[in-house]
Structure 1
Amino acid sequence: MTPADLSRTVLHAVRRAVDENALRASVPARVRVERARPGGSGDYACAVALQLAGDAGLPALEVARILRERVAAEPGIGRVEITGPGFLSFTLDAPAAGDRAVLDAVREQGSAYGHGDALRGEEIRLHHAPEVRAAVTADAVRRLLAAQGARVGVGCEGGGDLEWGRLGVTADPHETPPGPFATTIRPVPAHATAAELLERLGADATRWGLLRPASHDRAPLGDELLVQGEANPLFRVRYAHARTRALTRDAAALGFTAESDAAPVPYESPARPLLDLLADHPGVLLAAARHRAPDRVARQLEAVAHAFFDFHDSGSPLPSGDEKPSAAHRSRLALAEAAGTVLAGGLSLLGISAPEHL
């Protein structure tokens, strides 16, 4: 919970108290919360009870007691104390165990988060048409299946193209035609050669352009794949990853690191969609492998990038001005780092690089 989140929570409690006729006072436009001073109690403090006391016709301590009852029940609040003449002091709660477990799993497993052994023991043979989109799709499917523990062989139905190697394709173009138990990869053709696409787009944009659409859809392969702006999903995904890495570097320069159990990320906050996407990531990877559908991974990465930017825009993991790094900053940094790890791992499964600087 950021100071802005806490401010909104306290303001909501004031409105409830007024609506319930527990307080007869004008609701302020905003409520200011500050970091607790050295030697003080809790993580944050607020003087709103003193501010409202005169208007309410009540002692500040009584106003503080009325507000404490309503704030203490809010998600993310661990303890609320009344100090001095009527200050409210807030100790933030720890994140839910499930959220903390997701962040810890991402940190421990790194780019392999979401990999598993659901397909261990299965031997799968893939064959693809002698065409660049089919070759790249088969290669991505191979990566997804191998990440779930399967043993995978890939072959081409006809003569291959030496330029495929520059796209990371490792299929043997001389392998025999598919047998009765092989899976044939045959998406809508790209209607361009690997050399043409590489010269115009480069390897990363080519692979994204070929893999992002479902295999039954035509692959748009225009110059929009090279645009460095929000309209280009590939740029947005890679920029989100680069931004998470920049946050880690900037935090290190400020002398603090991430901690997944440092402070809460409440359900209704902008962090929730991002946390849910990270929790769902292993299931998305397994489904993409089972359905031979790398486009599902691309769409998942787009969703993670979008949720990350919403989360980041709601409150940076970095302190501003003279503000000192708090538990909330460490918690938010942990979530940002987890998002970056998932983005890098997903891009790797698609055979696409994840630069730390863009």
Structure 2
Amino acid sequence: MTPADLSRTVLHAVRRAVDEDALRAPVPARVRVERTRPGGSGDYACAVALQLAGHAALPAREVAALLRDRVVGAPGIGRVEITGPGFLNFTLDASAGAEARAARVREVLDAGLRYGRVTTEAGRLHRLHHPPEVRAAVLAQSVARLLRTQGGQVLVGCTEETDPRWEDLGVRVGLRYGAEESAGIRPVPARATAAALLDRLGRDAALWGLQRPAAHDHATLGDDLLVQGEPNPLFLVRYAHARARALLREGERFGLTAAYETDVDAPALHAALADHPGVLAAAALHHAPDRVARHLETVADAFFDFHATTPPLPVGDEKPSAAHRSRLALAEAAGKVLAGGLFVLGISAPPHL
């Protein structure tokens, strides 16, 4: 793990703590880590807890403990200690990091679309209600799916008569009850009907446009959602999934089967896969499907970087090897996470684009 990797890992921990409402402070643009000075503890030290303590209205050592809990066990980190007024000190462990990455990839492949699902909310019933408006109906449905990823049971109701065209967007509303009985889903309205959106954009693009912006922002429903290229994040997310599936099919021509046998140098992609369970939990807690959409963009970007710098398939005179099998396994894991996230948003993940 490089200092830049460690900095990103600590920054991920800060974001997780803020997303989970454990820490109320602004997320810094970057986190600085430095080599430990002579006589210090560990390989690297970081003072971010001291920087956040004032904003969070917490002692720096308490902030450091929150971050330590979210960094311990991360790939490449062997030990995390808190010293002095609230410094985080890291001892690196390359072998432990490789083992953790291998275990995570295998976990994703074993769990498939269910990777990141937990039973934390098992036995808890959530009641959601929304006004008779298409964006609210769509977000309520995705929030319900998110709560189910945490083990919860969910009932969704509309306060008034529903639009039958909502069903073409995957919305199922079988109940009617008022605000006093449930949690309200009230985003900024889309100012469009389900019929108009479906006719102009189709189901998947309409769902992405309704959910990608945060609920307090206006939905972006322009024709750019239909662009088959880089300017369209939805296309990139679905293309990354389709490309991962294509790599597996192409691997068969070389006699390659995905199997994570040797460590793959793709820190951004490994980090994105590791973040997925936390993203689902935070999105469920805050009723925010937009967090899932943004995370899928991160996974797709990391996948394409990995694909460009570490080709999963033999190139030129290369012979198929354990390294290629491992890269294929990582590509397959990325595809599983992308498909699972799209499912939460109600969007299809076709194997071909």
* Shared fold (TM-score, shorter chain, > 0.5): yes
1:308-354 deviation digits (Å, cap 9, x = unpaired): 00011002100012321111111111111100000000000100000
Q: Which residue of 2 is the match for residue 133 of structure 1?
A: 135
For the pair 1:335 / 2:315, whether they are aligned, the reply is no
What SS is found at the alignment partner of 2:340?
helix
Aligned residues of 1:248 and 1:257 also touching (Cα < 8 A): yes
Amino acid at match of 2:228: Q
Runs of 5+ consecutive residues of structure 2 not aligned to the other structure: 1-75, 77-94
Compute the displacement of 1:121 (Å). 1.5
Q: Which residue of 1 is the match for residue 343 of structure 2?
A: 348
Q: Which residue of 2 is the match for residue 235 of structure 1?
A: 235
1:99 to 98, 101, 105: 101
Whole-angstrom distance in 2 between the partners of 1:323 and 1:283: 38
Q: Which residue of 2 is the match for residue 213 of structure 1?
A: 213
Q: Which residue of 2 is the match for residue 164 of structure 1?
A: 166
Compute the displacement of 1:95 (Å). 7.2
Amino acid at match of 1:148: Q
Whole-angstrom distance in 2 between the partners of 1:277 and 1:285: 12
Whole-angstrom distance in 1 between the partners of 2:115 and 2:101: 15
Aligned residues of 2:129 and 2:177 also touching (Cα < 8 A): no
Runs of 5+ consecutive residues of structure 1 not aligned to the other structure: 1-74, 76-92
Task: With the length of structure 2 as denominator, give the TM-score of the two structures.
Answer: 0.72
1:148 to 143, 150, 159: 150
Q: Which residue of 2 is the match for residue 263 of structure 1?
A: 262
Whole-angstrom distance in 2 between the partners of 1:308 and 1:236: 10
1:165-204 deviation digits (Å, cap 9, x = unpaired): 00000122x5122324x11000000000000000000010
Aligned residues of 2:122 and 2:152 also touching (Cα < 8 A): yes
For the pair 1:245 / 2:245, whether they are aligned, the reply is yes
> Where in structure 2 are the equivalents of 1:163-202 lying within 5 Å?
163-172=165-174, 175-180=176-181, 182-202=182-202
CA RMSD of superposed structures (Å)? 1.4
Compute the displacement of 1:99 (Å). 0.2
What SS is found at the alignment partner of 1:179?
helix
Q: Which residue of 1 is the match for residue 313 of structure 2?
A: 318
Amino acid at match of 1:264: D
Q: Count matched residues.
A: 260
Whole-angstrom distance in 2 between the partners of 1:110 and 1:264: 20
Aligned residues of 1:95 and 1:264 also touching (Cα < 8 A): no
What SS is found at the alignment partner of 2:202?
helix
Q: Percent identity?
A: 60
1:16-61 deviation digits (Å, cap 9, x = unpaired): xxxxxxxxxxxxxxxxxxxxxxxxxxxxxxxxxxxxxxxxxxxxxx
What SS is found at the alignment partner of 1:126?
strand
Q: Which residue of 2 is the match for residue 56 of structure 1?
A: none
